[in-house]
Amino acid sequence: MSAINHRKIKKSNNYKSYFIVAGILASIGLALVAYLMFYVAPAETLETVKIVAITSNGCIGETLDGYAVNIGTCNGEPGDDISALVDQKLKERAALMNPTN
C-alpha cells in the first residue's frame, strides 16, 4: 500500500444545485419588482385642491378630504381652487401615520 491514492475521483457537474440557486435568486428579484410596482409606484388621480401656500418647492394644496400635498409649480394664489394630480398612496401613508381616533 502506498500513501498516494490512485483511485480516480469522479467529477460530476451538479447542475441541479445551480438551478435551485438561480430559482431562489429569480424569485427574490421578482418579489422586489412586485413590491416596487404595487407599493412604491405612485397612483395619481386628478383632484380639486385649495392652494394653501406657495413655497420654493412648489405649491402646497389641501385636498377636499383634508390632506396637505405638494402639487409642484402652479399658477394661482393662496385660496384658489385648482385641479392637480394627487398621489393616493401618499394620502394612505399619511392616514396611517396620523390617525384621527
Residues 6+ apart with CB under 8 A from 82: 48, 49, 51, 61, 71, 74, 76
Which residue ranges make up each domain of the chain?
A: 13-42, 44-97
Nearest Cα to Cα of residue 73 among 51, 88, 93: 51
Please give the backbone phi and psi of residue 10, each rounded to the nearest 5 degrees, phi first: -80, 120
Look at the pTM and tell me if it is higher than 0.75.
Answer: no
Q: Of the spans 23-37, 61-75, 83-97, which averages the highest pLDDT?
A: 23-37
Q: Which one is the CATH code of 44-97: 2.40.128, 1.10.730, 1.10.1200, 2.40.50? A: 2.40.50
Residue-wise pLDDT tens digits, 43-83: 889 999 999 999 998 899 999 988 989 988 888 899 999 99
